[in-house]
């Protein structure tokens, strides 16, 4: 997909031992000058979120686990920090934390993709002797049409699958009949039905309606359109980057995309309106019918989203090694194109998240993959204590610009809670109207992140509690309105409700802080908000972290644990 959306990191002279589950490989890393990309001169470079060394990236593409190696592909411009020359960047890992960057897997060189090798997915197909992954991707052809193409590894014996070959039969699908040539893109991972045929969906717009076009294939190469789409919405326009997968009613383990059985639901995700919307429903694989059981796709911002902040074009995969479903999302910049040119890069990926179905079966839970904990270093803890209204408490002794923070609050009573007129209030509007500078009774309380010494700069991630006509509501906000003294950067305020009972449940928050990105998870992952921030004062060692309560009522800080985070190793393989 191609909404307009860059990277320079220090390189190291070292030899890493990459144990990727199929043998031990010695990999030499070249020597490169690092002066222009040091953290002092590049304060917005992240320490543990994925970014290639330089240039533009956007959508994560085709993540997979194959023969003991994790692969991440992504939209990439090899030649500059702005969108263009779109190729498939390719990186590999054995732990989803540290990455080796390979040469691009796909480049726009052929008539069917000369305008760009755009987003898509990988599917692992059975082969005559062993499984074979294939890439399904959208290309823009010489006529400007969006067409679907296939690529596969040149050598399955290569443990890293460095080289990919485009199929001689490309393009295997072109826009025909009611499909417009500019609204036909982003094929999903394919799944196999009980009849032995493969299915996939492609994002589209038919008669002005966002649509997941459904296709069938016997071999994964030759595809036929189904008479009916898997799903569509009359209330939205074009769907990008669709994803479709099963989730279990029991536990947090993920399921293979082709899994069939009892006690499961299916998730359909579509990207539009700059957000990641999803619905949960039941899928009949015999009839290829998907029936939504939650609220359906709408333009409204109040329905279920993967993330209510700056997070788009996500892609998930089934990790058979850990029996989990893992997803990434593209996190674009909130500064200008001239800033991207000066930095030499633009865009990054969210930290990979595990996804599972909540206990209520009404929504998804997302949580950073457990491997992130290997980056944790110095820990600071604050035990149970009261935080009185109108106060803030510094969290000392950690690197507050590169940290992982978990905090839990408890309310002992809710007498005097602020009232709202409707149980269907717009959380985004509430967060804007009642930002961090507007005190209430219970809230705002939470974390002040990337805060300068004089508190001129601060990113506030907080909760406040309201009472509606029929129930209490926990609002979660990420307020960037005071995040930077720089005038020309995005300072949005994001908001969403957290589906918990503040009378009985602890109100929890986890924030991953990494220089220019803050990923926050409320209610143990029920509500996620990602923000980009560009402080001028609160950078590197000058950043501070606080717990705060600016409401009039006291809240109980049940626990706080914060860790300084080591840098991930994200280096080119040579």
Catalytic residue list: 59
As a residue count, the chain comes to 574
Q: What single-letter DSSP state applies at residue 173? A: B
Residue in the block written with tokens 């700069």: 457
Full strand arrangement of the beta sheet holding 289-292: 240-248, 264-272, 275-284, 289-292
Question: Nearest Cα to 499, choosing from 476, 467, 469?
Answer: 476
Q: Are 464 and 478 in contact (CB under 8 A)?
A: no
Distance CA 316, CA 286 (A): 24
Distance CA 473, CA 421 (A): 12
Q: Identify the helix (H) or strand (E) that includes residue 428.
A: helix 427-433
Query: Which tokens go with 263?
Result: 């006690």
Question: Nearest Cα to 417, choosing from 441, 448, 395, 450?
Answer: 441
Q: Which residues contact 276 (CB under 8 A, 6 or more apart)?
A: 269, 305, 306, 307, 311, 312, 313, 314, 329
Distance CA 281, CA 295 (A): 10
- Dihedral of alpha carbons 227, 232, 235, 238, sign: negative
Task: Tell me, rounded to whole angstroms, the distance of Cα 333 from its chain centroid.
Answer: 14
Distance CA 483, CA 490 (A): 9
Q: Are 220 and 134 in contact (CB under 8 A)?
A: yes
- CA atoms within 13 Å, Cβ hemisphere of 439: 12
SS3 for 402-417 is EEEEEEEEECCCCCCC
Helix, coil or strand: residue 219: coil
Residue in the block written with tokens 């589950």: 21
Q: Are 146 and 140 in contact (CB under 8 A)?
A: yes
Distance CA 526, CA 269 (A): 16
């Amino acid at each position: 997909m191609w909404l307009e959306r860059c990277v320079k990191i220090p390189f190291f002279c070292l030899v890493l031992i990459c144990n990727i589950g199929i043998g031990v490989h010695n990999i030499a890393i070249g020597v490169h000058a690092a002066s222009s990309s040091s953290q002092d001169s590049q304060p917005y470079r992240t320490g543990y979120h994925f970014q290639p060394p330089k240039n533009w990236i956007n959508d994560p593409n085709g993540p997979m686990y194959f023969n003991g190696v994790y692969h991440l592909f992504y939209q990439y411009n090899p030649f500059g920090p702005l969108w263009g020359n779109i190729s498939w960047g390719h990186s590999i890992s054995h732990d989803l934390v540290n990455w080796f960057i390979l040469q691009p897997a796909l480049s726009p060189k052929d008539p069917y993709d000369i305008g760009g090798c755009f987003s898509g997915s990988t599917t692992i197909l059975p082969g005559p002797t062993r499984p074979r992954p294939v890439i399904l991707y959208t290309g823009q052809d010489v006529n400007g049409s969006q067409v679907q193409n296939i690529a596969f590894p040149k050598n399955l014996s290569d443990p890293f699958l460095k080289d990919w070959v485009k199929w001689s039969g490309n393009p295997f699908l072109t826009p025909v009949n009611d499909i417009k040539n500019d609204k036909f893109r982003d094929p999903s991972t394919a799944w196999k039905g009980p009849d032995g045929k493969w299915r996939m969906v492609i994002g589209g717009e038919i008669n002005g309606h966002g649509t997941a076009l459904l296709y069938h294939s016997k071999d994964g190469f030759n595809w036929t359109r189904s008479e009916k789409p898997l799903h569509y919405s009359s209330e939205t326009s074009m769907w990008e980057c669709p994803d479709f997968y099963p989730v279990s009613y029991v536990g947090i383990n993920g399921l293979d995309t082709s899994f069939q059985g009892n006690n499961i639901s299916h998730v359909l995700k579509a990207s539009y309106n700059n957000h990641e919307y999803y619905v949960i429903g039941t899928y009949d694989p015999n009839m290829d019918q998907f029936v939504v059981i939650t609220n359906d796709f709408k333009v409204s911002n109040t329905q279920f989203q993967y993330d209510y902040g700056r997070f788009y074009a996500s892609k998930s995969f089934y990790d058979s090694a850990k029996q989990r479903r893992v997803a990434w999302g593209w996190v674009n910049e909130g500064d200008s194109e001239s800033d991207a040119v000066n930095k030499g890069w633009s865009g990054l990926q969210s930290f990979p998240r595990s996804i599972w179905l909540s206990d209520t079966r009404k929504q998804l839970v997302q949580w950073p993959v457990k491997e992130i904990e290997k980056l944790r270093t110095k820990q600071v803890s604050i035990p149970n204590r009261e935080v009185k209204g109108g106060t803030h408490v510094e969290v000392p002794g950690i690197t507050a610009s590169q940290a992982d923070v978990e905090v839990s609050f408890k309310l002992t009573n809710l007498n005097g809670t602020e009232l709202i007129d409707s149980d269907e209030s717009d959380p985004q509007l509430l967060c804007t109207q009642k930002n961090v500078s507007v005190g209430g009774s219970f809230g705002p309380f939470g974390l002040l992140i990337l805060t300068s010494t004089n508190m001129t700069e601060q990113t506030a991630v907080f909760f406040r509690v309201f009472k509606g006509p029929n129930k209490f509501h926990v609002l979660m906000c990420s307020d960037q309105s005071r995040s930077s003294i720089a005038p020309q950067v995005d300072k949005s305020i994001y908001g969403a409700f957290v589906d918990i009972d503040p009378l009985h449940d602890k109100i929890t928050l986890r924030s991953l802080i990494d220089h220019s990105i803050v990923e926050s998870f409320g209610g143990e992952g029920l509500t996620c908000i990602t923000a980009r921030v560009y402080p001028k004062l609160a950078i590197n060692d000058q950043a501070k972290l606080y717990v705060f309560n600016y409401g009039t009522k006291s809240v109980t800080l049940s626990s706080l644990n914060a860790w300084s985070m080591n840098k991930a190793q994200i280096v080119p393989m040579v």
